[in-house]
Chains A and B, each alone.
Chain A
Amino acid sequence: MDYLYFPGCTLYTKAKNFDQTARNCSKLLGFELKELSKWTCCGATFPLATDNLMALLPPARILANAREEGNVLTTLCAVCFNVIKRTNRLIQGDGEKRDKINNYIEKNYAGDLRVLHYLEVLKQDIGFSQLKEKVQKPLAGLKTAAYYGCMLLRPFSEMGFDDKERPSLFEEFLEALGAKAVDFPYKIECCGSFQSVGSPEVATECAYKILTSAIKNGAEAVVSTCPMCTFNIDHKQADIRQKYLDFKPVPIFYFTQLLGISMGLDHQTLGFEQNAIDPLPLLREKGFF
């Protein structure tokens, strides 16, 4: 089965490594990510002010156009996933807003797309046990921290991704790849998100707490599902080091990069040049390349 795929802006530019590895891995797993023929930015926030209909229009338009091409839509970026899934549910459940939105975008979308995150596709449609069988190069001995962040999980009633306080889906995925997933208390904490624009020092502090918590619990690398989180916990490590002199850099992966390694992809195709902290020394030390 092929999946309609919404990449989102950042995966086209600053997180090409996330996009490319996912596309390549899909082929190896026997399905294709079929990019939507037309899409725009999703708006990158689900509007929380209830009277802000304007911010619902971009995701609604994406959904309405996608519905003309299929009935399951998948995304990789956790922010896009959150915005699109919440908008979809709102269109499904709120008749008044649905009519207003449809009038504005000149569509007749009922909210009947199934919106899935790529990890959900792997779990529900492929199955982690089948995934495990397809692994060419198990990530044995690699201690990873599955960092969920906020957007996959919250609000629980709308996202329904996993348990809101103690999720385990991401760890199960990493263990299917042969890696060890350490538990750490900050796995569902916020990375500071868009505060990297409003109050960068606050976002740096959030990232510091998450990373030190992961390291304290034995992680050698942290795994992310979101380019926003990745910016805060990977690219901001330089800022962390300026403030906390004893902080030792830790590599950050997109989960699809680890999937790619385990599927036997060559490291040149994994886009490590876009990772701020070079993960190759760690991967070589573990004997993966």
Chain B
Amino acid sequence: MKIELTRQKVHNAFAKKVEWVSGQNLFACYQCGNCTAGCPVAFAMEVGPHEVIRYTLLGLEEEALQVNTFWLCASCLQCTSRCPKGIDIARVMDALRMIVLRKKERKDHVQIQEFPEGFLEKVPQIAFISGFRKFLS
């Protein structure tokens, strides 16, 4: 993929929005990959959290929002705890999730009606409540 870098592209509106919702300075990221290395669910991610931050800084909104990375984030804060630049990466992942869920189309990430039978009886309330907060608009 060929990307042309311009000042506007790097200081793009999408990155500003992610920064605003997450309260984090994305420009502090120097792409060390510590977040991805320690992430317990990185094995299932299409790209690592550090790469999503890079996409965002390059203004690649569509690419940043279509990967499964932030949907798989379990907010365990291991990345946050280990980031040498002090970025709360879990907040960045949550911001991306919120940006998608707050869009007009209201695309929920999970469909309650598709849960297998007996699932609701089995799973504890905390898992549902926090899951719904993270996955439903």
Q: Complex formed: what's the CA distance from A280 to B128 in Å?
A: 30
A49 and B98 contact, Cβ closer than 8 Å, known pairs A154-B81, A189-B40 = yes
Question: Could you tell me how many residues of chain A have their Cβ less than 8 Å away from some Cβ of chain B?
Answer: 46
Interface of A: prevailing SS: loop
Q: CB-defined interface of B63-99 with A at 8 Å, one 1/0 digit per residue?
A: 0000000011011111011000000101101110010
Contact B127 A48 (CB under 8 A): no
Question: Which positions 5-47 of chain B face chain A at CB distance < 8 Å?
Answer: 20-23, 40-41, 43-44
Q: CB-defined interface of A11-24 with B at 8 Å, one 1/0 digit per residue?
A: 00111000000000
Smallest CB separation, B93 vs chain A (Å): 8
Contact B81 A156 (CB under 8 A): yes
> In the complex, what residues of A have CB within 8 A of residue B128's CB?
197
Q: Is A168 interfacial (CB 8 A cutoff)?
A: no
> In the complex, what residues of B have CB within 8 A of residue A199's CB?
44, 71-72
Which residue of the partner chain, among B21, B93, B135, contacts A51 with CB atoms under 8 Å? B21
| Count of inter-chain pairs, beta carbons less than 8 A | 139
Question: Could you tell me how many residues of chain B have their Cβ less than 8 Å away from some Cβ of chain A?
Answer: 40
Smallest CB separation, A158 vs chain B (Å): 10
Contact B76 A193 (CB under 8 A): yes
Which residue of the partner chain, among B41, B75, B76, B135, contacts A197 with CB atoms under 8 Å? B135
Q: Complex formed: what's the CA distance from A233 to B58 in Å?
A: 39
- 13 of the cross-chain contacts (CB-CB < 8 Å) are A44-B125, A48-B22, A50-B21, A80-B126, A156-B81, A190-B76, A192-B40, A193-B74, A194-B127, A195-B131, A197-B110, A198-B109, A205-B44
Q: CB-defined interface of B95-112 with A at 8 Å, one 1/0 digit per residue?
A: 100100000000001100
Q: Complex formed: what's the CA distance from A163 to B21 in Å?
A: 29
- Which A residues are closer than 8 A to B by beta carbons? 8-10, 13-15, 41, 43-45, 47-52, 55, 77, 79-80, 150, 154-156, 164-165, 188-190, 192-199, 202-203, 205-206, 209, 227-228, 231, 235
